Amino acid sequence: MTPKLILASSSPFRRMLMQNAGLTFEAHAAHIDERSVEAPLEREGATPDAVALVLAKAKAKEVSDRYPACLVIGSDQTMSLGPQTFHKPRDMADAENHLRILSGQMHRLNSAIAIAYDGDIVWEHVSHAELTMRPLDADFIQRHLKRVGEKALTSVGAYQLEGEGLQLFSRIDGDYFTILGLPMLPLLEKLRELGAIDG
């Protein structure tokens, strides 16, 4: 019997990606305090990749512990500019600061994914995308944030590439799914390998 698939996320974007791919699954948010998981990692100088992967595995494991005999997919994304790791902006002033720092720079999105079964991690993966933001002047940043509103607070970069945030960029290297935080192609390949979806 094929194990039930569970997405350990409340993200509407991740749910949409899995639904669009024709997957049958349930979605259950992980009950973890992401900041308390991240804090010691950052103090130890963990890479943005490592932080994303630890969080993805923690989410998958926490939900897997509650739903045995299911394949649980956990994911997380960090954003890095050189050695600096970014988190979701706390408020609109923080979002403005994010965009000011990213203006004219190339940053990296690190999208990690993990699958757990019966509380054990059975697979993990990290994909990258590199995005170059065009130079933005301060007045434009304020006008842009006024238009997009609170949505700017829902992503690490204070932008949504699937919306008006696309206008902020001059170059994108990487696949769309990685940018949205769920690397679908490696995930689908692994699910076929595990016999969880029709191959």
Judge contact between 4 and 70, C-beta under 8 A. yes
Furthest-apart CA atoms within the chain: distance in Å: 58
56 Cβ neighbours under 8 A, 6+ residues apart: 74, 75, 76, 112, 113, 114, 124
The active-site residue out of 65, 76, 139, 198 is 76
DSSP annotation of 134: P
Is 35 exposed, middle or buried, given 0-12, 13-18 or 19+ CB atoms closer than 10 A?
A: exposed
40 is written with which tokens?
């010691």
β-strands 84-86, 106-117 pairing? unpaired
User: In sequence order, what are the beta bridge partners of 5?
Assistant: 71
- CA dihedral sign of residues 23, 185, 88, 173: negative
Verify whether residue 76 is a known catalytic residue: yes
Cite the active site residues: 76
